[in-house]
Amino acid sequence: MEITEQKKGPVVVLTLKGRLDASTAGRLEEKLLALIDGGEKQFVGNFLELDYISSAGLRVLLMAAKRLKSGSGKIVLSSLKDHIREVFEIAGFVTIFPIFDMEDEAVKSFQ
């Protein structure tokens, strides 16, 4: 899995490419925790090029969301493929993470 980081004003956009599973979730967790510990509070996860997400990937996102909530931050998601969105719906995560069709919409949601 590739993780690309881009700053758009106060928002950190993390673009994920490939598979977010047990073997790659640790890298995302390290990245998110380092950014959160560094003071970042607003995140967009761009999943346009994410092909697969497992429960390990969901766990990392949930952990980060909980940590951010205690510090008045949040994560929103964008550009989910239909089968990825279905995983979020089945897991009940659509009530936890705001989901936008486009990255720009997700970034603007923080304004």
Could you read off the pLDDT of 72-92 as tens digits, one per residue?
Answer: 899 999 999 999 999 999 999
State both tokens at 20. Answer: 């977010």
Q: Pseudo-torsion of CA 33, 34, 39, 45, nearest 10°? A: -60
Band of pLDDT at residue 31, cut at 50, 70 and 90: very high
Q: Which residues contact 7 (CB under 8 A, 6 or more apart)?
A: 13
Indicate the pTM of the whole model. 0.95
Smallest Cα–Cα separation from 2: which of 24, 23, 29, 21?
24
Phi and psi of 15, rounded to 5°?
-100, 125
The pLDDT value given to residue 70: 85
**Side-chain-side CA neighbours of residue 85 (13 Å):** 12
pLDDT over threshold 90, residue 47: yes
Q: What domains can be seen in the chain, in order of their start residue? A: 2-108 (3.30.750.24)
Query: Do 51 and 18 form a contact (C-beta atoms < 8 A)?
Result: yes
